[in-house]
Amino acid sequence: MENTKEFRTWLDDMQLNHPLVIAGPCSAETEEQVLKIAHELKDTDATVFRAGVWKPRTRPGGFEGVGAVALPWLQRVRKETGMKIAVEVANLAHVKLALEADVDILWLGARTTVNPFAVQEIADALNGTDKIVLVKNPINPDLALWLGGVERLYTANIKKLGVIHRGFSSYKKTSYRNVPQWQLPIALKQRFPDLPIINDPSHICGNRTGIQEISQIALDLNFEGLMIETHVDPDNAWSDAAQQITPERLVEIMSDLKVREPKAEGEALDQLTGLRAEIDVIDKHILDTLAERMKVVEQIGAIKKADNISILQDSRWAAILESVKKEGNVRGLSESFVESIFKAIHQESINHQETIVSGK
């Protein structure tokens, strides 16, 4: 994947004056539902209509999509609205049916990307296609696995490639359905700057309230587009109802989002703006990590209170400080910097534990 300039050609060919917007329902439910949503989207910033035809579910018994019967509905969408159509494919049979229906964009879901055998099967089936193929990040935060999926498709002579960032599963309860882990798409973009990245705020949030915030972060990081689940009656959607928005709300979100324009002063300032946006994301990640640490500290404080153990453990603190200074040195951080940071963290930890122990 040394010469990747061709990655961007499919996006450039769309001649958009705004970020690419892929919108539509989580699932195609009925022909009437699909067409109603599409016609309400056709005059918005959305130029690609998405709909889940085959729905991979975590556990059996859930709605798994209506299947190939929905493909003619999508063909009607394209004919009546002029929008491109996109579906998720997870195996060879899906690919064959999608190609027969002349679907414009195919994407591999997170559960598929995590399986190199499935990705290779799909790559072989699509060998040499001129269709646009997008690869969602795997469920787990593994950059090599994500890139591996792209490389398998690229090796199969598929040049119209892009990726979708939909966040990563976590065993910890967080405010996200899938934690963004922004450092991974940032690392991918640094490695392959010409590989278009589409953000999927719907799956990151798991609810409709955070979609605008996540979309803005993605645009600040120079992502090329958004995939937002859209439904005319979100509360009664057959799948993922909580994270879908109405077409009207999509229009509001897009009008409120700020798209960074190239600066007249030159490329350097543009690059600085992008790097500063990365710093903002990393800083938020640091704060989230510190907040998680303090939750653990409070659990420790509760144990110390119950067993009448002193808050300050000198030997434990000395061992921590020595360890982090060594780890910091490996990462190019000075001992004085690491020591000052962790002394502040240690003091905040003591404050939290004192609050627990004193019962204030």
pLDDT of 243: 97
Of the candidates 11, 33, 94, the residue with the CA atom closest to the CA atom of residue 244: 33
The secondary element (H helix, E strand) that includes residue 161 is strand 161-165
Give the model's confidence band at 264: pLDDT under 50 very low, under 70 low, under 90 confident, else very high.
Answer: very low
Q: Is residue 263 part of a domain?
A: no
pLDDT band with cut points at 50, 70 and 90 for residue 4: low
More confident position, 148 or 259: 148
Q: Is residue 109 a contact partner of residue 56, using CB atoms and an 8 Å limit?
A: yes
CA gap 55, 119 in Å, rounded: 17
Instruction: Clarify whether residues 338 and 296 are in a common domain.
Output: yes
How much is the pLDDT for 203? 97
CATH code of the domain containing 123: 3.20.20.70
Q: Indicate yes or no: pTM above 0.85.
A: no
> Are the C-beta atoms of residues 176 and 159 closer than 8 Å to each other?
no
The domain of 19 spans 5-256
Cα distances from 316 to residues 38, 295, 311, 313, 340, in angstroms, run 61, 18, 11, 5, 17
What is the end-to-end Cα distance of the chain in Å, rounded? Answer: 59
Separation of alpha carbons 66 and 71, rounded Å: 10
Residue finishing a domain among 230, 256, 282: 256
Q: How confident is the model at residue 47 (pLDDT cuts 50, 70, 90)?
A: very high
- Give 268's pLDDT tier (boundaries 50, 70, 90): low
Identify residue 145 by its one-letter amino acid code. L
Q: Please give the structure tokens belonging to residue 296.
A: 């653990």
Q: Sign of torsion, CA 331 336 339 345?
A: negative
Task: Assess whether pLDDT exceeds 60 at residue 263.
Answer: no
CB atoms within 10 A of CB 195: 20
What integer pLDDT is reported at residue 360 of this predicted model?
67
**Under a CB-based contact definition with an 8 Å cutoff, are residues 177 and 206 in contact?**
yes
> What percent of the chain shows pLDDT beyond 70?
96
- Of the two residues 180 and 309, the one the predictor is more confident about is 180
What's the pLDDT at 160?
94
Q: Determine the pLDDT at residue 8.
A: 81
Q: How far apart are CA 252 and CA 307, in angstroms?
A: 55
Tell which residue, 24, 20, 26, has the closest CA to residue 45: 20
Residue 3 binned pLDDT confidence (cut-offs 50, 70, 90) = low
Domain of 316: which CATH number? 1.20.59.10
Which domain-ending residue is among 256, 290, 305? 256
Do both 274 and 244 map to the same domain? no
C-alpha–C-alpha distance, residues 352 and 355, integer Å: 5
pLDDT by residue (tens digit) across 86-116? 999 999 999 999 999 999 999 999 999 999 9
- Distance of alpha carbon 139 from alpha carbon 115, whole angstroms: 10
Express each pLDDT in 198-221 by its tens digit. 999 999 999 999 999 999 999 988
90 & 124 share domain = yes
User: What digits encode the pLDDT tens for the residues 60-95?
Assistant: 878 889 999 999 999 999 999 999 999 999 999 999
3-state secondary structure of 197: strand
**Is residue 265 situated within a structural domain?**
no
Angle 52-202-224 (CA atoms, 0-180°, nearest 5)?
A: 95
Tell whether the model's pLDDT for residue 271 goes beyond 90. no
The per-residue pLDDT for 312 is 76
Q: How many folded domains does the chain comprise?
A: 2
Same domain for 291 and 162:
no
Of 209, 225, 256, at which residue does a domain stop? 256
For residues 233 and 341, membership in a common domain is answered with: no
Q: In terms of Cα–Cα distance, which of 59, 73, 115 is closest to 91? A: 115
Q: For residues 264-296, b (16+ Cβ closer than 10 Å) or e, as one string?
A: eeeeeebeeeeeebbeebeeeeeeeeeeeebee
Q: What is the mean pLDDT of residues 231-243?
A: 96
Looking at the fold, whether 190 and 226 belong to one and the same domain comes out as yes
What separation in angstroms does the CA of 281 have from each of 41, 177, 276, 340?
Answer: 31, 18, 9, 23
Q: CA dihedral defined by 94, 95, 99, 100, rounded to 10 degrees?
A: -40
For residue 159, is it within any domain? yes
Is pLDDT at 356 greater than 90 in this prediction? no
Q: Are residues 198 and 127 in the same domain?
A: yes
For residue 52, which of 17, 14, 89, 20 has the smallest C-alpha distance?
89
For residue 241, is pLDDT > 50?
yes
What confidence tens digit (pLDDT) does each residue in 127-177 have? 999 999 999 999 999 999 999 999 999 999 998 999 999 999 988 778 899
At 32, which helix (H) or strand (E)?
Answer: helix 31-41
Q: Which helix (H) or strand (E) holds 35?
A: helix 31-41
Tokens representing residue 111 in the block:
């559960």
> How confident is the model over 190-198, as a mean pLDDT?
91
Alpha-carbon span 305 to 223, nearest angstrom: 48
